[in-house]
Structure 1
């Protein structure tokens, strides 16, 4: 075993160091999900939850493939490590992995378009074990 220095990227999580602080992000991982779905140049959405469905669902052939739907949904589950605010939407998509319908593909595409938004979340949390912060 040998020391190779500080970690910079681990399991799709980019690690940046500053003065006594670490910044973790999955920006590159999110970009790879969008690339896999062929949505790198899509128009971003500001809200991850779609409450109104259109009257007819377009059958987008690129996302209507059930194995691709499962793969993208599984990748989004891993993305919730750094973006817990999409957990509800990912949970809704995960409930239909056995037989995705056009409306589920519509919701998946909406969530992927939300991932395209490059702003920081105002969400934050602290987890303590006794008096020590662990996360």
Structure 2
């Protein structure tokens, strides 16, 4: 083993050292998820879970790819380490990973 000094980043978790505490953040990891989904210019929501569904769902060609849906949902599962407020929404998304429908894609986009 080798002492490399204080850690600043570990598996997507940024670590900031203060004299009496540590601050953990996944801001960079969350931004990379938004970049994968091409949603970096989206507006934030105060409540990541959904309350009302739209009458007509528009088709999103990028997120309709099942492989991308699975990758983004899996990334969101890791993000729940620091964001337990999205755990319920991510759980709902995870239940449809085998065959995501248009409604599931809409909910993924809403959670992102």
1:79 equivalent in alignment to 2:93: no
CA distance in 2, matches of 1:16, 1:3: 18
Mapping 1:57-96, distance limit 5 Å: 57-96=57-96
| Residue of structure 1 in register with 2:3 after alignment | 3
| Residue of structure 1 in register with 2:99 after alignment | 99
Residue-by-residue CA offset, 1:100-124 (whole Å, 9 max, x unaligned): 0111000000000xxxxxxxxxxxx
* 1:46 Cα deviation after fit: 1.8
Runs of 4+ that moved beyond 3 A: none
Please state whether the residue corresponding to 2:28 is helix, strand or coil: helix
Mapping 1:102-113, distance limit 5 Å: 102-112=102-112
Name the larger-Rg structure.
1
* Runs of 5+ consecutive residues of structure 1 not aligned to the other structure: 113-135
CA distance in 2, matches of 1:97, 1:54: 21
- Out of 21-30 and 40-49, give the one that drifted further: 40-49
RMSD of aligned residue pairs (Cα, Å): 0.7
* 1:60 Cα deviation after fit: 0.4
- Return the TM-score normalized by structure 2: 0.97
* Runs of 5+ consecutive residues of structure 2 not aligned to the other structure: none
Please state whether the residue corresponding to 1:14 is helix, strand or coil: strand
CA distance in 2, matches of 1:41, 1:4: 37
| Residue of structure 2 in register with 1:39 after alignment | 39
- Out of 42-51 and 21-30, give the one that drifted further: 42-51
Please state whether the residue corresponding to 2:24 is helix, strand or coil: strand
Please state whether the residue corresponding to 1:42 is helix, strand or coil: coil
